[in-house]
Structure formats: C-alpha cells, structure tokens
Structure 1
Amino acid sequence: MDARIFIDLETATPPYEQVQSQISSLIAVGALQPGTRLPTVRSLAADLGVAAGTVARAYKELEAAGLVVTNRRQGTVVAASVPTMPKAGAVEPPHRVMAAVEHLIVEGEKAGLDSKMLLTLLQGRLNQRGK
C-alpha cells in the first residue's frame, strides 16, 4: 500500500476510526484498487505507533462494510466489488467536492503543508462547524 495513513492523537476521534476512515476514503477515491493488499495488522500498527488491536478493529469495521476481505493466505485486500449502496444518510461525493479536495491538496502543497497538517486543518474547521 503506497498511500500514507496518519494518526492524530490530539483529536477526539479514536485511532481505529481514523485508520478506518482514511482507508475507506482511499478506496472511495480509487487510490486503493480492488485486490490491493493492505499491510498486516502488526506492520501497520508498528508504522503508526498504535496497538495491533487498533488496526485489527479498523480492518474488522472495513470488512463489515464490505470494503475489504480478509483470509489466511492473502491477508487483507480491497474487496473485488465495493458496495454500491451507501449507508443510510451517506451520499457519494459529487465531482465538484472531489475537485475541491484535490484543489485543497494542491494549494496545501504549494504552501508547504504536509498531509498531516492538511488533515488537522480540515478536521479543526469541521469541528468548529460542529460536524
């Protein structure tokens, strides 16, 4: 998995939810294609500096949502067919929202901000709005 996942210990969001959210987002935007093998629980936990149970819970939640499949031989991989029905109340991001996200990333990079800082800024702004 080439994509980077970050844990922000300063936020109220539990680490397993951060891992789950970031992986599901990477799947949604196509950064993780079907069949892509995710790191082992222990490996990702070590990289993130969290307990293995944190990553295991995130993977379990992703599997329950049908986004990944886990088996003994291949480990955890992105599901061949990601569910097309969103959860109740969830909607697929419109193209203009995805374009705005891309714009945010480009502008952040121009300003010298790393991914963690961009996520922190976005999370902080969402928290201010009460979302």
Structure 2
Amino acid sequence: GMILDIAGRPAATVTKTSAPLSFPADVPTQAALIAGPITDLNVMTRRGRMTHAVDRLVISASTDIQSAADATLILCVDGEIAVAGAAPVRIGPRDALLLGPDALKRRIEPARPATLFLIRIDRIAAND
C-alpha cells in the first residue's frame, strides 16, 4: 500500500482492500510506499467533459453488473471471471474488458474468488 499526502486533506492510507480514493489530479500530491513496490490504478478524465466512477468488487459467486455509462471497463485484479454476452469472454489477472453503452447488464461468473474494478465513464451532455 501507500500513504497519499494530498494538499488540503489529511494523509490517506491506500491498500489492496481500500475503497477507491478520488482526488483532483491538479493538486500537489505525494506518496510514500508502506512496504515495497505496488501496482496502482489511476483513472483520470477531463474535468468538465467527462465523469467517471470506480467501484471495487470482491466476488465469489455469480454477480450481475448494471451500467448505463458511455463506457464501462471491467478490470480483473486477481482471480478469473467469465463475462456473459453474445460471445462470452474470460479474463484473468490484470486483464480488462471494455464495454460500450449497449451493455446495460452483464453477468459475471468467477472461476474462483476475484477482485475487480468496475470503471464507468460518461460524457457530460453539454459537451456533445
């Protein structure tokens, strides 16, 4: 994990089990590793043009995800999952599946317990 020092906020500890932490990319930020190298995930969208939401899911049974977003990214951190669809897709650790706006509901079947990030990205309508 790491400790993030984001200007104007108390220091935040981020680990594999933490909820995603949102902060603006244009403020001074420093990080200190807690116990050696890590792999982190940063999602950035252009402020005023796009929005995004990041959810961390740990699943061990069939799970339905719903998204009306313009784009939905399923990132498998660990484990292995099958994502139902016209052509089912299997993804493993550090694999991702990008879904378009027509993918309103998908069933995820884990082969074993899996940790995922579900990232939803939308255009802001006033910018179309």
TM-score interval, normalised by the smaller of the two chains: under 0.3
Normalised TM-score (structure 2): 0.26
**CA radius of gyration, larger in:** 2
**Normalising by the residue count of structure 1, what TM-score does the alignment of the two structures yield?**
0.26
RCO higher in structure (CA 8 A, sep ≥6): 2
Which one has the bigger strand percentage?
A: 2
